[in-house]
Amino acid sequence: MNPFHYQRATAPEEAIHVVAATRGAKFLGGGTNLIDLMKYDVEHPTTLVDINHLSFTQITSASDGTTTVGAGVRNSDLANHQTIRTNYPLLSQAILSGASAQLRNMATTGGNLLQRTRCYYFNDTAYTECNKRNPGSGCSALKGFNRIHAILGTSADGDSDTANCIATNPSDMNVALAALNATVHVQGPKGKRSIALRDFHLLPGTTPHIETALKPDELITSVELPPSRFAKHSCYLKVRDRQSYAFALVSVAAGLELDGSTIQSAGLALGGVAPKPWRSAEAEKALVGAPATVETFHKAADLAVAGAKTYQYNAFKVELAKTSIVRALTLAAQGVQA
């Protein structure tokens, strides 16, 4: 563990000022990911600014149906909050499928958004070729044991077959937030701004070390959920090597708004297959206006993984993703939780 300074912030402006003015400073929430990375010698903050005592721990609902979740809300509290369980069961299901009860008791909403990859080669500094840790050094996973790695969104420029990084985003919460069209609110030295969840996480491109649209001195203050449309018909399906305390090989967040058997609107996001929560506009478009049938779901599944690029050990993810999408959409249409 490298030495570091610790400072407890009493106001958002104070925390932001310290991080903006101190090279290498980072915000500290639950610490469930950051502290591990410090122990692994991956992260080396010079100063940790404790934000646990800021007023970001509320879940509030507005008259227009939107719900705002403070960045400091613990994952356990969020998953078990009555408003979330009733109006956004997809989010509750996703959070409860992740980590362990002890970790969920500590992990925060803001920290979960910033959760870093569990790629073996990123977390083990013995592997020097990692473009996330050492930009320009290469990617050990490309020719290594890449069973858990990405099959979508990995090309360097959107058209090329080359990839600089094939690590996946590990969060379950992020996948549900993507399907729900959430918005992230942040605050920095230049004021406040909002970032749509779909734009918050970045594809690796030529800069895999830059993972989000958040600037180093910006603080996540809350996440806003739009009025609920999928309360009656949603499903979070997580496929993993063991039932608990394991990251997804493939996960699916599926939400449907139905009028009889016709799909009026849909939210569909995948986890475990891309560097960010993966949404396919083509797949969602194919669902809207169509009957909620297995045939419709198979068509959406094919579109959702179109363009997948596989590697030596992860080709199985293509069919696994398709099967999981059909299963999740079927359960969502039936109003059955996975």
Q: What is the pLDDT of residues 125-152, one digit of tens each?
A: 999 999 999 999 999 999 999 999 999 9
Q: How far apart are CA 129 and CA 134, in angstroms?
A: 7
Tell me which residue has tokens 């100063």.
Answer: 47
Is 159's pLDDT higher than 70?
Answer: no
Q: Answer whether residue 332 shows pLDDT above 70.
A: yes
Label residue 336 by pLDDT band (50, 70, 90): confident
Residue 257 lies in a domain: yes
In this structure, is residue 180 part of a structural domain?
no
| 82 within some domain | no
In a domain, 281, yes or no: yes
Q: What percent of the chain has pLDDT over 70?
A: 98
Residue 215 one-letter amino acid: K
β-strand 67-70 against 183-188: which pairing, if any?
unpaired
Contact predicate 295/309, CB 8 Å? no
**Mean local confidence (pLDDT), 291-311:** 98
Residues 7-32 have pLDDT tens digits of 999 999 999 999 999 999 999 999 99
Residue 196 bridge partners (DSSP): 183
Q: What percent of the chain has pLDDT over 90?
A: 95
**What average pLDDT score do residues 38-46 get?**
97
- Chosen domain end from 9, 33, 54: 54
Tens-digit pLDDT profile for residues 69-116 = 999 999 999 999 999 999 999 999 999 999 999 999 999 999 999 999
Output phi, psi for 81, to 5 deg. -70, 140
Residue 89 belongs to a domain:
no
Q: Is the residue at 238 inside a domain?
A: yes
For residue 4, give the CATH number of its domain.
Answer: 3.30.43.10
pLDDT computed for residue 245 by the predictor: 87
For residue 337, the model assigns a pLDDT of: 67
- Determine the pLDDT at residue 169: 98
Q: What is the pLDDT of residue 217?
A: 97
pLDDT digit string (tens) for 175-200? 999 999 999 999 999 999 999 999 99
CA–CA separation, 206 and 312 (whole Å): 22
> Is position 142 within any domain?
no
Q: What is the DSSP letter of 62?
A: -
Residue with tokens 């646990």: 52
The total domain count for the chain is: 2
Please check the confidence at residue 156 and state whether its pLDDT lies above 80.
no
Which helix H or strand E contains 28, and what residues bound it?
Answer: strand 25-28
Helix, coil or strand: residue 168:
coil
Work out the burial of residue 100: count CB atoms within 10 Å of its CB; fewer than 13 is exposed, 13-18 middle, 19 or more buried.
exposed
pLDDT of residue 161: 67
Closest CA to 255 of 182, 179, 199: 179
Convert the pLDDT of each residue in 249-262 to its tens digit: 999 999 999 999 99
Last residue of a domain, one of 21, 39, 54: 54
**pLDDT tens for residues 232-242?**
999 999 999 99
Q: Among 54, 74, 91, where does a domain finish?
A: 54
Q: What is the pLDDT of residue 323?
A: 98
Residue 167 lies in a domain: no
Give the CB-side neighbour count of residue 196, counting CA atoms within 13 A. Answer: 5
Q: Which domain holds residue 271?
A: 234-334
Cα(107)–Cα(119) distance, rounded to whole angstroms?
20
CB 130 within 8 Å of CB 122: yes
Q: Taking Cα atoms as reference points, which of 169, 125, 124, 128 lies closest to residue 148?
A: 169
How do strand 191-196 and strand 219-225 relate by DSSP bridges? unpaired
pTM above 0.95, yes or no: yes
